[in-house]
Amino acid sequence: MSAIFIIAGKEFRDGVRNRWILATTLLLAMLALSLGFLGSTPTGAVKVDPLTVTVVSLSSLSIFLVPLLALLLAYDAIVGEIERGTMSLLLTYPVARRHVLIGKFIGHLCILSLATIIGYGTAGLALQLVHGELNLAAWAPFVSLIAASILLGASFLAMGYVISACVRERTTAAGIALGVWLFFVVIYDMALLGALVADQGRFMGASQLNMLLLLNPSDVYRLLNLTGYENISMFSGMAGLSDQAGLSMRTLIIVQLLWVAVPFSLASLFFKRRQL
């Protein structure tokens, strides 16, 4: 266990030295503040808490941004170390490959988690203070948004490790990571929407739709944030989808955790069999 925490600490310190934490935190905070203040401008007239509107806006933003940041952190975690020769040196010490992978994952997840908590949390606090009130009840969906964003980032970190464990060059890993991001964030939902329009309800029922949504961690994240609370569902326009999908919060959380565990297990298997 000590080896895992040493490696995790090293990855975290590297993130601090490379300004990863600072840059990611500032980026998330600025975008959250921009969306919060612009999106909450009309909320006073309709008596809507500004955090409610911000959760809806940030859910859409995070689907694009958090997976990209996670893949940028993870795509060269293994292949980059191998190219630089540091992985061979590290494995000369009494440390198992799975411990190296777990340590790196914990370190990268800490970087992403800290940036998300500080960036989004600061924006949410500033937004409520500017509007002259601190509504603790409105923080429940906002805290859920932060937790779900961390889970989403963890799933794409794990996918990045799979890529990094399989390829031989960093440039190849970067290209595949970009393709994975485009597929899960953009192409999958466009294809699903096209299939639903073409089907016109003839063959694709609620159970089939549920299965297709669960096959994409970005869609699981969207359902977690936009259908978990009644007021969020109403203002996001997903109340109908929430009723049709019928997926509980517990089911969605379990599936999102599986999207972390399964890719990470594959990455561990590929890394174990890889010849350095």
Residue whose entry in the numeric block shows the structure tokens 């517990």: 250
Reference 168, options 31, 270, 61; nearest CA is: 270
Around Cβ 10, how many Cβ atoms within 10 Å? 14
Specify the pTM. Answer: 0.88
pLDDT tens track for 110-127? 999 999 998 888 877 877
Domain spans in the chain, listed from the N-terminal domain onward: 2-273
Give residue 126's pLDDT. Answer: 78
Q: What is the mean pLDDT of each run of 10 residues along the chain (276 residues)?
A: 87 83 83 70 52 74 90 92 88 88 94 90 78 67 88 96 94 95 93 83 75 91 73 46 65 94 95 85
For 212, counting Cβ atoms within 10 Å of its Cβ (0-12 exposed, 13-18 middle, 19+ buried), the class is middle
Are 145 and 120 contacting, i.e. CB atoms less than 8 angstroms apart?
Answer: yes
Give residue 137's pLDDT. Answer: 66
Quote the Cα angle for 72-75-78, to 5°: 135
Q: Which two tokens stand for residue 210?
A: 């549920």
Residues 108 and 21: their CA atoms lie apart, in Å, by: 10
- Own/partner long-range contacts of 124-133 (Cβ < 8 Å, ≥24 apart): 124/32, 124/36, 124/51, 124/54, 126/33, 126/36, 127/33, 127/36, 127/37, 127/40, 127/50, 127/51, 127/54, 128/50, 128/51, 130/37, 131/40, 131/43, 131/44, 131/50
Q: Which two tokens stand for residue 73?
A: 């952190």
Give residue 247's pLDDT. Answer: 75
Give residue 236's pLDDT. Answer: 46
Are 112 and 15 contacting, i.e. CB atoms less than 8 angstroms apart?
Answer: no
